[in-house]
Amino acid sequence: MSERTLAIIKPDAVKKQAIGDIINRYEKAGLKPVAMKLMQMSMPVAEGFYAVHKARPFFGSLCGFMSSGPCVVLVLQGENAIKKNRELMGATDPAKAEADTIRKAHGANIEFNAVHGSDSPETAAFEIGYFFPGMEIFG
């Protein structure tokens, strides 16, 4: 089933000049960017995006990181896009990420882990709508 997921190339990966490598991995896996922008989140925008994590001890640090520089926010479309992108990303902790994953290649640690990907159809719908109005998605 063709579906959409929200991906973010986080500020650490943008600083490392890994945008091209990461988008290449999406495209090679059949995930087509149908919306994309370079943007810097404010602290409140990052807090809203990660609201589900607000009780976690790392919440403040995570939102500080996510607003520390520009990131690339994309909507990816393709067969089983949510699961496929999670597989391309690898485990949250790059030290535990499988070989040939984005986090293995570009992540530094469990916080600075290069990419975000929606984890369910419900979160994908919220996350896509958080950053893109329908008229900016070219599916």
Catalytic positions: 116
Cβ proximity to Mg ion: between 78 and 117 the closer is 117
Q: How far apart are CA 137 and CA 129, in angstroms?
A: 10
Q: How far apart are CA 77 and CA 55, in angstroms?
A: 31
Residue with tokens 């607000």: 54
Q: How far apart are CA 27 and CA 132, in angstroms?
A: 20
Among 3, 21, 87, 119, binds ligand IDP (CB under 6 A): 119
Shortest Cβ 97–ligand IDP spacing (Å): 10
Cβ proximity to ligand IDP: between 78 and 107 the closer is 107
Q: Which residues bind ligand IDP (CB under 6 A)?
A: 53, 58, 62, 92, 110-111, 113, 116, 119
